Amino acid sequence: MPALLEVQRLEAQYRWTKVLHGVDFAVEEGGITTILGANGAGKTTTLRAVCGMIKTAGEVRFAGRRIDGRATEDIVRLGIAHVPEGRGTFVNLTVEENLRLGAYGRRERGALAADFGRVYEYFPVLRERRGQLAGTLSGGEQQMLAVARALMLRPRLLLLDEPSLGLAPLVVREIFRIVRTINRDDGVSVLLVEQNAAIALALADHAYLLETGRVVISGAAAELGRDESIRRSYLGY
């Protein structure tokens, strides 16, 4: 069976600086894939390239169909929810309005109430704060809101850009627990980009290591985590 997301020879650049030099990776249907790497390795660029937020070369296939070169809003409407770097919160809108917007791009408009119920169950704090302006939430709450907003799309694939960044360890653990639940119970495939290798490898089943725009190592997450030399030279723990 072909992978849900298949990326081949992906290249991307900002102005004159090439950031990705032919990256290949895949996300299996129902799987969790992680892309690890240091600052500036091209992790965020990879996610942005998948979503058509920057000009790219190479092939990106989603569920067998080419999506490279298509507009971001069309790619999102296929069922790819992107939780961006910096969380992308609509700070001047309420929590509930943020969530309503999450459901904007999906085909079936019905059963919104059920989806609200589901994300409020995952993130009870959002229910308490639903009338509040999203900009007044704490960093952890905004990250929860970003994940919840992505879920409102009822995505087939969830792209997560460093969800652990700047958050307390307890909050990070909570968010990762919920991502695992979403993956297991709702069958949502996940592509996770992280600097925090330990927690990402514990969650993922497949991992790629990115260095200056190239994949240097790939394999089963558990194996990468066990390999002493990789751990020491690349993952730093």
Partner 1 sequence: MDIFFQQVVSGLATGGIYGSLALALVMIYQATDVVNYAQGNMAMFSTYIAWSMLDAGWPYWLAFFATLAIAFVGGVAIERIVIRPVENAPILSIVIVSIGLLVILSSVAGWIYTYTQKPFPSPFPNRPVKLGNVIVGAHDIGAITVTLIVLLLLYLFFRYTTLGLAMRAAAQNPVSSRLVGIRVGWMLALGWGLAALVGAVAGIMVAPVVFLDPNMMGGILIYAFASATLGGFTSPGGAVVGGLIVGVTENLVGTYVRFIGTELKLTVALAIILIVLMVKPSGLFGRGTVHRV
Residues 40-59 touching partner 1, rule: CB under 8 A, are 51, 53
The binder of partner 1 chosen from 102, 163, 213, 225 (CB under 8 A):
102
Binding mask 136-165 for partner 1 (x = CB under 8 A): -------------x---x------------
Cβ atoms of 145 and 95 closer than 8 Å:
yes
Closer residue to partner 1, CB minimum distance, 77 or 214: 77
Report the alpha-carbon distance of residue 24 to residue 156 in Å, rounded.
Answer: 20
| Closer Cβ to partner 1, 87 or 206, answer by number | 87
Alpha helices in 25-163 (DSSP H): 43-50, 72-77, 95-102, 112-122, 124-128, 139-151
Shortest Å distance, C-beta 92 to partner 1 = 6
Contacting residue, 34, 89, 143, 196, with partner 1 by CB under 8 A: 89
CB 163 within 8 A of CB 83: yes
Minimum distance between the CB of residue 25 and partner 1, rounded to whole angstroms?
A: 21
When binding is defined by CB under 8 A, the residue of 59, 90, 180, 222 that contacts partner 1 is 90
Nearer to partner 1, 72 or 212 (CB): 72
Stretch that binds partner 1, among 25-33, 62-70, 97-105, 220-228 (CB under 8 A): 97-105
Q: How many residues bind partner 1 (CB under 8 A)?
A: 25
Q: Please state, in angstroms and rounded to a whole number, the distance separating the CA atoms of residues 62 and 11.
A: 17
CA distance 206 to 27: 8
| Nearest partner of 144 among 124, 166, 159, 117, judged by Cα | 124
| Residues from 57 through 76 that contact partner 1 (CB under 8 A) | 71-73, 76
Positive or negative, the Cα torsion across 201, 205, 211, 217? positive
The distance of closest approach from Cβ of residue 97 to partner 1 in the complex, given in angstroms and rounded to an integer, is 6
Geometric angle at alpha carbon 114, from 109 and 118, rounded to 5°: 120
What is d(CA 92, CA 101) in angstroms, rounded to the nearest whole number?
A: 13
Residues near partner 1, by CB under 8 A: 51, 53, 71-73, 76-77, 81-82, 84, 88-93, 97, 100-102, 104-106, 149, 153
